[in-house]
Structure 1
Amino acid sequence: MFQWNWKEFLINPDLVADVQQLQAMLENTQVSEAEDRWVWLPDSSREFSVKAARLLIRANVDISDRYIMDWCNWIPAKVNIHLWRTELGKIPTKVTLKNRNVLLDDPVCPLCGSEEETVDHLFIGCHVASVVWNGISVWCKIPNIFAFTVRDLLGIFKELTVSDRKKEAVQGIIMIACWNIWRARNNFVFANKPVKIDKIISEVKALGHFWFSNRSKYKDIEWGDWCSFVNM
């Protein structure tokens, strides 16, 4: 029980209301001699942890339609990260910069000049990208690479009826090709270097063989076999 000892008589109506509210709050409060401590109510142990906080944050988040990119182990992390950011639409294409209120003279694709430079256009709809994918399809001896989005492009290797070795190779080759298209685009925009499609494909072959023969579990691939894509 709380015994109140007032120095003055309460006559202010607002003060009286506050006191009544305070009394109602303290009515069911039990005071003990135990030491005060903090408790984390969302967890049964009453102890705070980062895991418990993460579970609380994610409790009402719908992740049923979340896309998880398949990383390729035999290509460098910088290429994987580039494709991850590309799929999220985070690389600075002209349309992305425009959406971030960056002033641009023209958001048109610098490689073909036919449409606005979005992620899907640059890596799929652009004439340069289309010719690159056609050349890679012929080189890898797979059906013509056709996709509507970057997400579709990154999943093409799963649909191939080929060996696991060839699937793994094609997955990395597509990622390297996207990375080289982006590099060629930047060299053209910032250094005024002309875009040569045969050079893009040659760099994909060279880098692909170097990384595949040194970083993958298949280290017996020769340059000649890689260029003709046999024994895959």
Structure 2
Amino acid sequence: MDDSMQVFTYFLKNSLQVEEESPGWKINKIWLDNWIGNQAFCIKFPRLFRLEENKESLVRDHWNDGWTWSWSRPIGVGITSTHLSNLLNLIDNVQLNEDKDEWVWTLDKSNTFVVKSTRHHIDSLLLPDSQPHTSWCRYIPKKVNIFHWCALRNRLPTRWNLSDKCIDIESIICPVCMSSPETVEHTLWTCSLATFIWLKTFQWLDLDFPSSLNITGVLEDLDHRHFSKKNKEIVAAILGVVFWSLLKFENETIFSRLSPKRAGLMDKIVETSFIWFTNRNRKYNISLNNWLHNPLVFSTMKSFF
């Protein structure tokens, strides 16, 4: 199936719904179609969906003077049992009748096809969303740029995100501070280690610490500051190194035999940022001593030695 056909299929699935008076129990798939509520059951209850033996079954296949199910194994106590209770509560008051099921066009209030509303819906599916803007920094490795892009879109495999994908893990608590769930924001900004490193970084660069509560706000704050072109490039490179170093420290905490030392992390960030930046920009002849003092100060001078 080509891309245009996939878009059209997705468009139809999200545009056509069954009237509320007759919840489509004869023609709708109980798990895959959005026949009741605002979300398909396969998305709302993914653990139950994985246990369903016939994932293509219709609503009518599960009704015989009461709701019947075909699970691949018995459902015990825990999250899966809670999901089953929530599912039964959701469909408990559904009234099934013998009326003919009808499809209606829900993109317009009139329930009739209108080109304008259809176009708006297609645009909302295809046009770029309002996700945070990221700029490619040529003075850090490609993998760090990609990591930065993923972090701003909450696409890192943190414990919280893995749990949200129904992947069973021992704990969702941050392995570094052991006090809060390991989310992207926590790992890179609000964790006690991250907060300490960011304070040291802004002190090193002689910059006011931003008041923002999230990473996106920090980047926007720095973007609105009046830096020279050279200093913007330096700040972008250092931010990338800080993000990467925090993640690397956390991974070493989890997987390394020897626990990493917090005391040397800031020194490693300064050293790594100097090596990456100067190796990728031979025009900036700044010495290590000047970089250690404050790269933003010495980058404005004609001579960097």
- Fold similarity call, TM over 0.5: yes
What amino acid maps onto 2:249 in structure 1? Answer: A
Paired residues, number: 177
The question of whether the paired residues in 2 share the 8 Å contact of 1:137 and 1:145 is answered with no
The question of whether the paired residues in 1 share the 8 Å contact of 2:131 and 2:153 is answered with no
Gaps of 5+ in 1: 1-56
SS class of match (2:259): coil
Computing the radius of gyration from Cα coordinates, the structure with the larger value is 1
Give CA-to-partner distance per residue, 1:136-157, whole Å, 9 cap, x none.
0111111114432232233343
1:101 corresponds in structure 2 to 166
1:166 corresponds in structure 2 to 231
Structure 2 residue 277 is the aligned partner of structure 1 residue 212: yes
Of all paired residues, the percent bearing the same amino acid is 24
Structure 1 vs Structure 2 CA RMSD: 2.2
**Distance (whole Å) between structure 1 residues aligned to residue 247 and residue 199 of structure 2:** 17
Which of 235, 244, 264 matches 1:199?
264
Give CA-to-partner distance per residue, 1:136-191, whole Å, 9 cap, x none.
01111111144322322333431323322122111110111010000000000011
The question of whether the paired residues in 2 share the 8 Å contact of 1:111 and 1:185 is answered with yes
Q: Which runs of 4+ in 1 moved over 6 A?
A: none
What amino acid maps onto 1:231 in structure 2? Answer: F
SS class of match (1:72): coil
Change (3 A) 1:102 1:181: same
Q: Residue 205 of structure 1: CA displacement?
A: 0.9
Structure 2 residue 222 is the aligned partner of structure 1 residue 157: yes
The question of whether the paired residues in 2 share the 8 Å contact of 1:213 and 1:219 is answered with yes
SS class of match (1:69): coil
The question of whether the paired residues in 1 share the 8 Å contact of 2:173 and 2:181 is answered with yes
Taking CA–CA contacts closer than 8 Å with sequence separation of 6 or more, which of the two structures ends up with the larger relative contact order? 1
Q: Residue 112 of structure 1: CA displacement?
A: 0.7
Give CA-to-partner distance per residue, 1:193-219, whole Å, 9 cap, x none.
334333221121111111211213642
Structure 2 residue 232 is the aligned partner of structure 1 residue 178: no
The question of whether the paired residues in 2 share the 8 Å contact of 1:87 and 1:151 is answered with yes
**TM-score of the pair, normalised by structure 1:** 0.69
Q: Residue 192 of structure 1: CA displacement?
A: 4.3
**Distance (whole Å) between structure 2 residues aligned to residue 195 and residue 108 of structure 1:** 18
Change (3 A) 1:208 1:118: same
Gaps of 5+ in 2: 1-121, 300-305
